[in-house]
Chains A and B, each alone.
Chain A
Amino acid sequence: MAAWIKGGATDADGAIAAAATLLSAAHAPVVAGLCADVAAVRAAYRLAGSIGASVDTAGAEGTYADLGSLSRVGAMTATPAEAVGRADVVLAVGARPWGAPLLKRLSETKPTRGRAAGAARSLLALGGPSGTGAALACPAEAGLPAALAHLRAYQRGHLAGDGPVADLATRLAAAQYGVVLYDPAELGEAGVEMLTGLVMGLNETTRCFALALAGPDQDRAVVQVAAWTTGQPPRVGFGRHVPEHDPWRFDAARQAAAGEVDAVLWLAALPAPRPGWLSTLPAIALVGAGSAGAEAAEIVIEVGVPGESLGGVLWNEGRAALTYRAATGPTDLPSAADVLARITHAIATGKDA
């Protein structure tokens, strides 16, 4: 197992002891990233709970745009597999869906199940890039949230007339099974809530579902682990021994900028872009083999990559569920969950000594 302390190679025990020392001395540590399998995320929550750390995830911006809307107006969603099987109309909102493999798959297939089975599938675009080949493309010069509001006003019949937006509303209402594809981080919470309202309005007369694209992170899995562990969404703090949920206070980037953090544990067994603030703080990075070197943080510990070198439960985007992924090759690296448990144990025994 490869591990480094301040750039110098060391062994596992040395790096784990150094991590335990750093975290036990910290007053306000943060456990961030959480881009790993379920066992590692559970171990991260256990560690955070035992040292009074706060928790944040790699894709929190998008996660909270979706959760904020969900907590207030609910949601009406489909899985990617359902969309591929049943949708006869797909509306892609914003630019991000056009880079997603799912949209390519949707454009190459036709609905095979349900009311729209055998029909052609039309792709519509709202605020996407030009030259996408969509059957109808509406620009969104005033921004995506405003464009969605405009579309929803036509859908409700509060605005009437001709034009691409009115046409878009008509096509969605005429669909047997519509799917609205979007990236929550691109839309923001207000936009997601407007989109949900649009989808719910369409369900008065036909079927339509929202489908959020998952990021490269494991946030969807973390949301579920957090819910069954703390009863809260992911961003919680254990500073007062109970899980307190506060999406503003426990935003790790904000905390780092405000100087409220004195140690960070970055968990990224799967590749995740490292935020800039990580290098400004005393940090421990648990990184997947080969995804980063000694420069990633003050203390770096290499762990096995779940779904590649180790088995692990990960988010399965196609089925929208937690799924076990077996290892595809052997490794001598430990799992992130194992390393986190050893750090937690070292901190607990260090206290007793």
Chain B
Amino acid sequence: MSVLTLRQAPPERLDFLNINPLALGRLSQGEAERLPVGTTRRGLRLGDCFSVSLDGADTLVVEGGHERLDRVGAALADGTLRVVGDVGQRLGEGMTGGVLSVSGHAGPFAATGATGGTITIAGDAGDHAGGAVYAAKAGLDGATLIVRGRAGRHLGDRMRRGLILAGDAGDMAGSRMIAGTIAARSVGDHPGYGMRRGTLVVGGHGAMSPTFVETGTHDLVFLRLLARALKRLSPEHAELIDRPLRRYSGDLATIGKGEIWASA
């Protein structure tokens, strides 16, 4: 198990795009310490902020996170990356596989464009978790994102594929969704704003947009299959589905093939 230990709070935002177990496994101690991570003209290197201990394993632990660590686990393809502490924006951006977990909070745009693997945030996530960054075609794109705490606004904005589980979420959860599944204990106002396809399962919700129409209370086989799939990841979310649910169809402002399942 390789370990990076934060020595002191970083003086600027750091870019962790190139810091992952696979990349570090091929480097010597000195080479790893010289990896550039700074984003200003200070030219900070990994060894300036972290003490590095490598053993070539496919597990990397970042001991001591900070909200200025951007793109932690970005483009992760394999292996395990664990952060003890907080992280900044774009956690696991474009990740294709492996396991990424954060014990603290995450900044905005967590799991954006991630096509595979599992991302777990024990604390809260910022706005646009599983959402698309500027000019990106899609947000979450096949990976699994689990936010144990609270997610901000625009959870799963323009997500295209994959699964998001969240505790509570802010306004406009599932906005502009292309496809995929979001389950949350509760969401704020206007869930599914502008969604095209996709499924939201919510325990409670704020104001519903007038462009979602109620289509009755159902007990479908699909929901039981979904519950079984969720049970492995989070029994709490599977429980949201173990009762008849009210279905809303929308967003009628778009093609309207999305659905929101809410407790009846």
Contacts and interface: CB of A to CB of B under 8 A. Distances in A.
Nearest to A237: B39
Contacts of A245: 134
Contacts, number: 104
B11 A27 contact: yes
B134 A52 contact: no
Interface stretch (A113-121, A152-160, A202-210, A272-280): A152-160
Contacts of A104: none
B154 to A, nearest CB: 8
Given A145-B193, A190-B175, A72 B41 contact: no
A153 B42 contact: no
A249 B70 contact: yes
Interface string B91-112: 0000000000000000011000
B159 interface: no
Interface stretch (B141-149, B179-187, B235-243, B249-257): B249-257
A59 interface: no
Contacts of A27: 11-12, 40-42
A262 to B, nearest CB: 9
B211 interface: yes
A338 B45 CA distance: 37
Nearest to B134: A247
B207 interface: yes
A190 B153 CA distance: 12
A149 B253 contact: yes
Given A142-B209, A149-B251, A156-B252, A248 B135 contact: no
A193 interface: yes
Interface in B25-67: 38-42
A197 interface: yes
A64 B135 CA distance: 11
B13 A72 contact: no
Interface in A221-258: 233, 237, 239-240, 244-249, 258
A193 B195 CA distance: 12
Contact of B193 (A146, A233, A237, A246): A146
Contacts of A246: 134
A320 to B, nearest CB: 22
Nearest to B207: A142
B190 interface: yes
Interface string A281-304: 000000000000000000000000
B40 A149 contact: no
A317 interface: no
A349 interface: no
Interface of B: 11-13, 38-42, 68, 70, 89, 108-109, 132-135, 137, 154, 158, 172, 175-176, 189-190, 193-194, 207, 209-211, 251-254, 256
Given A28-B40, A146-B211, A194-B253, 15 more contacts: A28-B41, A28-B42, A142-B210, A149-B210, A149-B211, A150-B209, A150-B210, A152-B253, A156-B253, A190-B154, A190-B175, A190-B176, A239-B38, A239-B41, A247-B134
Interface of A: 27-28, 51-52, 64, 67-68, 71-72, 142-143, 145-146, 148-150, 152-153, 156, 158-159, 190, 193-194, 197-198, 233, 237, 239-240, 244-249, 258, 260
Chain A to chain B: the 7 pairs with minimum beta-carbon distance, closest first? A52-B41, A71-B135, A158-B252, A149-B253, A153-B252, A152-B253, A239-B40
